[in-house]
Amino acid sequence: MPEQSTQPRQLAETAPLWRRLAALFYDLFFVIAVVFLATALALFATGGEAIPPHGPVQWLFRAYLLIWVGGYFVYFWCKFAQTPGMKVWRIMIYRERKQSCAGVMTLRFFWGVLCILSAGLLFFAAMRSEKRQTWFEQRTSMRVIKLIN
């Protein structure tokens, strides 16, 4: 199977924040499915026993789920340069320089988690940028662009 190019068919403008948020909302449904799958596998591994609601096992379970959700995003960003939600909203990640995809996309995922934990303040900082890029996108020569075709 030929490798999918991360080059857009036609370079477009940077995607507006509302379009990024719409894609993130759409991807939320896929994330819920991934969490269901990961939880089902964990229940299978524990013989159907529930994870205790408190203590270190609960924190390990949360880290386990975070790894699954991160894997979802990193896989789609590296393989197709867009998640299913991004595809629906016709946006994609454009990388201006070639670097290790898995490493930089894993950092991008954790940056996104930090942005969400900050109640979106770090996303809104992108509105102040001339190219509407987040701090992380500026440092890694990435843009989320809107596709024309």
Query: How many domains, the chain?
Result: 1
What does the alpha-carbon distance between residue 146 and residue 149 come to, in Å, rounded to a whole number?
9
The residues, any chain, with a CB within 8 Å of residue 113's CB and separated by 6 or more, are 66
For residue 52, give its domain range: 17-146
Residue 4 lies in a domain: no
pTM across the whole model? 0.82
What is the DSSP secondary-structure string of 53-82?
Answer: SSSHHHHHHHHHHHHHHHHHHHHHHHHHSS
Q: In degrees, to the nearest 5, what angle opens at C-alpha 29 toward C-alphas 15 and 84?
A: 45
List pLDDT tens digits, range 118-137. 877 777 766 676 777 777 77
Residue 40 lies in a domain: yes
Res 47: pLDDT: 84
Residue 102 lies in a domain: yes
Residue 115 lies in a domain: yes
Residue 36 lies in a domain: yes
Contacts made by residues 101-104, CB under 8 angstroms, sequence distance 24+: 101/77, 102/74, 102/78, 104/140, 104/142
Report yes or no: 109 and 74 within 8 Å, Cβ to Cβ: yes
Residue 41 lies in a domain: yes
Per-residue confidence at 1, pLDDT binned at 50, 70, 90? Answer: very low
Residue 11 lies in a domain: no
Residue 9 lies in a domain: no
CB neighbour class for 92 (10 Å; exposed up to 12, middle 13-18, buried from 19): buried
For a pLDDT cut of 70, what percent of the chain falls above it? Answer: 89
> Alpha helix locations (H) across 6-134?
17-45, 56-80, 84-88, 101-117, 121-124
List pLDDT tens digits, range 87-109. 999 999 988 877 788 888 988 89
